[in-house]
Structure formats: C-alpha cells, structure tokens
Amino acid sequence: MNTEVAPLNQGTVISVRGSVVDIRFAQSLPPIFTLLNTSDASVRIEVRTHLDANTVRGIALTPTQSLARGMTVDDSGGPLLAPVGNAILSRMFDVFGNTIDSGPALDNVTWKSVHNTPPKLINRSTQAEIFLTGIKVIDVLAPLERGGKAGLFGGAGVGKTVLLAEMIHNMVGHHDGVSIFCGIGERSREGEELHREMSEAGVLPNMVMVFGQMNEPPGSRFRVGHAALTMAEHFRDEEHRDVLLLIDNIFRFIQAGAEISGLMGQMPSRLGYQPTLATELASLEERIANTQAGAITSIQAVYVPADDFTDPAAVHTFSHLSASIVLSRKRASEGFYPAVDPLLSNSKMATPGILGERHYNLAQEIRRTLAQYAELKDIISMLGLEQLSAEDRKVVARARRLERFFTQPFFTTEQFTGMSGKLVALEDALTGCERILRDEFSDLPEQALYMIGTIDEANLEPESKPNKTKLEKVTPTHDEP
C-alpha cells in the first residue's frame, strides 16, 4: 500500500454520476492528475478537469457505490504511484500497487509517479538487433526487434492471447532481463492461469504482473498500462536491465480512454473514439524505447473490432510498431495455427542489412510464392488445378507445403491438442523453407509437413505421426491438388 501522506486540503463531493465525481475545494484546487481519497481510501479519484475556481471534476479509479454527496475527500498531494525495485519481482499487482497474489507484504520498495515523459531522442539507442521467438512464421517473415514494439492484430477468437502466451513460454525462460505482463481489460481468469503457469515453469522470480481487469472501472483500466511502464522504466534506467513488456490488450486501453472521454462530455471523433486518441496512445507507446541503459521490448495484443483493419484504433496502433503480426480468421478456420497471415504481417527489421542476404532473399522468395498462390486460387476454384501450367502447379505445391510447414504445435496448447510443443531455431526454420522451395519434398504428401517442428520431422511417414485422425480433421482439403 502507498505510504500515508498528510492531506494538503479537503474537498466536498457535490455530485456523483457513475465514475464522474465533482468536488468543491475551499482552499486550493489540486493539480490535474492528483489522486484524491475518501477517508477510508475505499474510493480513489483522479482529477481530470478544473471546472471553476473552486470545483474539480475527476474520474473514479474504483467503484463509487459507497460515495455520496457531502462526503469529504482528501487531497493526497500527488499523482497515482507505482511500486518499483527488486522487491516487486515475482509479484502480482493492481493499478494502485497493491499485491493481489495473497503473498506477504511488500518491503523495500520505492514509489514513483506513473506519469513519466518518454526518453529524449539523444538518449535513445539506434542499434538494430533481432529478438527471436522460436515461432517459425514470425522469425522468418516478420522478425521482432530488440527494444521495439510488436503488435499481434486480430479479431475475437483468432488466437492473440494463445500466441502471446506461447511467446511468454518461449522467451521468458531464455530472457536474461525482467519480464512484465500487463493485463488491460482482459478476463480475470487469464490472470490466474498465467500466474499458475509461470509459477510451474519456474520463471516467476524475474517476472512482474500488473492487472486492470475488464470488471474494473475505466479509470483503472486506463492507468494500469502507465503503472506497468513505470516499473519497466525503473528496471531499464536504474537497474540497467533489458525488459520484456507484454500487454494484453492495447485496444482495451484505447477503449477505456473512449469511455472516460464520453463520461467527461468530450465531443467524440470518428466512430465514437475520443478526440485525444492519438495523443493518449502516443503518451504510452513512446515510453517503450531502447536507450543506452537498456531496452524495453514490447509485444502487444491488439483486438481489431469486427476484423476491420481501417478502424482508428488499429490504424493508430500500427503507426507505433516495428513489427505487425496479423492473425487471419480465414487461416484459423482452415486449421493453420498459428493463424498468422504471412502476406499482411511485416517488420521493419526485414532488410538485408539487418537479416543478412540469405534470410532476406529467402523471405522475399517465400512471400512471392505465397502471393502467386493467392492469385491462382480463383483459377483453381473455377477451372481446376489441371488447367494450370506445369510451372504454376509447382508454385502451388511449394506454397501449400510452406503454409503447412509454418504451422507449429504450441507448448501452451498441449493439453488441448495432445501434441507436444516445438521450439524451432531460426537456422532450422530457414533451412526447411529453402528445401521446400527446392522441391525436395514434392514426393511427400502435404500432410507430412503439417504441425511439425524442424523439416527433418517431415521424413516420418504420416501413418507414424501422433494424432493422425486429429490432424486430418483440421487440415484444409478444399483445393487439394
């Protein structure tokens, strides 16, 4: 809990409308973003607007059921604070810095304001370095950047959280720095599941979890991302450690901002979003940076409303990212997991100078092959495969085998699929793609490349593979040559 601060002055509640609270102060008005508390600290309010010389309007960060007109509110004398320091490792917090994991009380922590400015341009590092995930389709076609921001885009139910959980499993154990998971407006059960799984995996000692779940007021959901970033900045700037920041879901941050904007009576902009959408998102995203002291590498799930990638929330988020991993509902329905769309996903790291000539040229050849196959699909569906030229039939065969090779069994879904998870090194993934493009597996059925790790596993006969019946049910057959 925050250390008690003597109130500078007291105010009186004059109106309560949902999460919007108006408070009159007789002495002096508290500054914007000041935290106000009721006497028993059951209700906490953040000042958002000065209405006149004596009145402020704030947004409650807690439910307001116990609040009434005439009640007194204490000025805390400062903004919302977050705990920082090594003592927060392996713990789970809410937006106020309270532990919610039933563990012992916190000792030796420092409290810092959640409102920090991004690092100056002169302090940022310009070194470009790849951040490997062990997931074939991402490492080959849309590699992540150390100290960069990657987004997992997709509509409801296409596998964003599963893919994020797999990245946590693959990277947290091999990540030398600190990992911080920030849950913004997601399901409460996911927090409990993540804590249990990370504890069983033995990676909690270098991990911190911060949650503002979907049942909490919009003020709490809006600030939990700032609280997590404050913790990440401490480890980067003070401890000089690399930080892996995982956010699920950045759209809920934007959604909470839209709720607050509507509650405050601001005129909405396009599609009902807040007029300050770009500013609010930038104030969060620009704090995620690679500096001389260390790097904050962020992977963010981004819900796309109604699968519409022109939605303002998706468009504004795209502009901040160094890698965009787009999940496709069509690929998920065809049984390709992870359901990453290889043609829509991209990365600013995909240049010859960073990846090297071999990796870059291979990625371009893969994209070219898959794009040609996408163009030929209409001809195949209307006229049949036999109407294609011999060269086009080879392109189709390569593309279909590449699609299946890019599927991968996950560690986090073993209990559902019955298949053991695979972690694939970049060199093995590149070698597999090269051999497929050289038609080395043209004699093997496509099924042999589905849900494997390295390409060497494809030499097994399909009959000897585990769960053959399960695989057959989900392997696409609608345009089988």
d(CA 187, CA 37): 27
Q: Is 186 a catalytic residue?
A: yes
Cα of 414 vs its chain's centroid, Å: 22
One-character DSSP codes across 140-171? HHS-EETT-EEEEEE-TTSSHHHHHHHHHHHH
Where are the alpha helices (H) located in 35-116, listed in sequence order? Answer: none
End-to-end CA distance of the chain: 64
Q: What is the dihedral of CA 401, 467, 455, 152, to 10 degrees?
A: 70
- Which residue from 406, 320, 340, 370 is spatially nearest to 154, judged by alpha carbons? 340
d(CA 290, CA 74): 39
Work out the number of other CB atoms within 10 angstroms of the CB of residue 471.
Answer: 18
Catalytic residue among 24, 124, 187, 393: 187
Task: Look at the chain and count its residues.
Answer: 481
DSSP summary character for residue 422 = -
Catalytic residue among 46, 145, 166, 186: 186
Where are the alpha helices (H) located in 334-476, listed in sequence order? Answer: 352-355, 357-383, 390-405, 414-417, 426-437, 468-474
Q: Is 442 helix (H, G, I), strand (E, B) or coil?
A: coil
Residues 6+ apart with CB under 8 A from 248: 160, 161, 164, 181, 182, 183, 184, 186, 190, 300, 301
- Which residue from 434, 453, 424 is spatially nearest to 132, judged by alpha carbons? 424
Looking at the annotation, which residues are catalytic? 160, 186-187
